[in-house]
Structure 1
């Protein structure tokens, strides 16, 4: 009788443990357990995120995310392309599972998504007309000259520009990179602030020869940007496992050869910064 009671208690404890695990599991972990693919959401922005000719997610950040997910045992991955401003709403509406578009960790975004620990650190630069006629090298120059800054909706440099004194009236908000370049070409805007790697990729992919990139060393030190993958707030369990796998991938000698074709360099390795510290 005693043995039977002990066995029943053990079975009940095991059942409770399984139920507790299921209750605590976030939607992404549950989806992968049920055999569903992981959906990456991104904007077309070479070389960080784009779609290959075969229709697969490609670019530095997509390749990074896919290789980290493989270390976790997840190989079924799909991509969804959308405008920058639609990424967080799509994540919150469960239309995608991870934002893999080179999103900067900012306090404002930390209230809407849960970031992985940083995967990259990048400086900001300005894209300006060839010859830099207004002599714009940083946000302070834009503010002092009253120049017009063009930015895709939701881009972090918008808030950085405001912090350095650029008036709201002089920030032109547009849907994406195509519209920003058009504004620069037409003279409706004077500069576009973005990361160095995105600026290089954008001018190369668009065969743009009428513009140039400013020297990143002219930007203030505190405008360095920490890039990460973004997840839903209730996917903490998955993010914790992702961070562990990401550490292993960053330490893996294979990472640099994997990402070098997209412009990755050792200067972009993020060090020991954590998302929780950057969200404070």
Structure 2
């Protein structure tokens, strides 16, 4: 009996130690989304959200492991326990809040409509046009709600709809204004035609996605976001990538 008790106690201690040192599995969308996340030539993640993740984990004094997940499977991966948190430019929306929880926002940038400079495209003249959007995004939701007379074409990645815009296979695309920066710089015959607004669709900004029952983890992320905002870490990270305050109003 004593041996059993000792073994049982040892097993319990081992489990406790394992739980205490368990990594928080952070889900990044596997597809490149610069300047937020992208892999360099060495296959290492870099970008605003990579540095932000590092700062948040340091503030929480937690070890974090990055797990690559395809964007359209990232919420299912969270719900299945394959990851513990989503740091992937996911906007806080009423629809998503039915399924998962979010931290406080950590940035907020507007959505835009992009099309060739030579076109007369506007947010009010999309009927009969082909509009490209990334699947399972707020941008798809916006296009389906507001551009009912257009043919909405979905893509697995942001880069794919940009490639089709360049090739003339779509008339315009909808996406995050900052994510378009590199594309617009490299493709001077394209421009922003309109800034799009709809609080019900876009929500208050981007947050860390978590399971609804992970309230302790949510509290940790919120405290970490507050800490790095107050101690200057957030601003230092932002200035590496942007010439404006990406936190937004």
TM-score higher than 0.5 here? yes
Q: Secondary structure of 1:103's match?
A: coil
Deviates more, 1:238-247 or 1:85-94: 85-94
Q: Deviations over 1:219-262 (max 9, x none)?
A: 34647651111112221111012101211111222321222222
Gaps of 5+ in 2: 1-14
With over 3 angstroms needed to count, the CA separation of the structure-2 counterparts of 1:114 and 1:47, relative to structure 1, is same
**1:101 alignment partner, SS class:** coil
By percentage of residues, which structure has more strand? 2
CA distance in 1, matches of 2:39, 2:18: 24
Please give the residue correspondences for 1:67-78 in structure 2 after superposition, counting only pairs within 5 Å: 67-74=55-62, 76-78=63-65
Give the TM-score normalised by structure 1.
0.73
The structure that has the greater radius of gyration is 1
1:239 pairs with 203, 214, 218, which one?
Answer: 218
Structure number with the higher helix fraction is 1
Q: Secondary structure at the match of 1:149?
A: strand
TM-score, with length taken from structure 2: 0.81
Paired residue for 2:52?
64
Q: Distance in 1 between matches of 2:191 and 2:146?
A: 22
Q: Which runs of 5+ in 1 are unaligned?
A: 1-21, 23-29, 272-280
Out of 125, 129, 132, the position equivalent to 1:150 is: 132
Aligned CA-pair RMSD = 2.6
* CA shift for structure 1 position 151: 0.9
* Deviation digits for residues 182-211 of structure 1 (CA, Å, limit 9, x no counterpart): 32123221111111111114445xx43442
The 1-side partners of 2:139 and 2:88 are apart by 15
The reply on whether 1:141 has 2:125 as its aligned counterpart is yes
Aligned residues: 231
Partner residue in 1 for 2:72:
85
Counterpart of 1:33 in structure 2 is 20
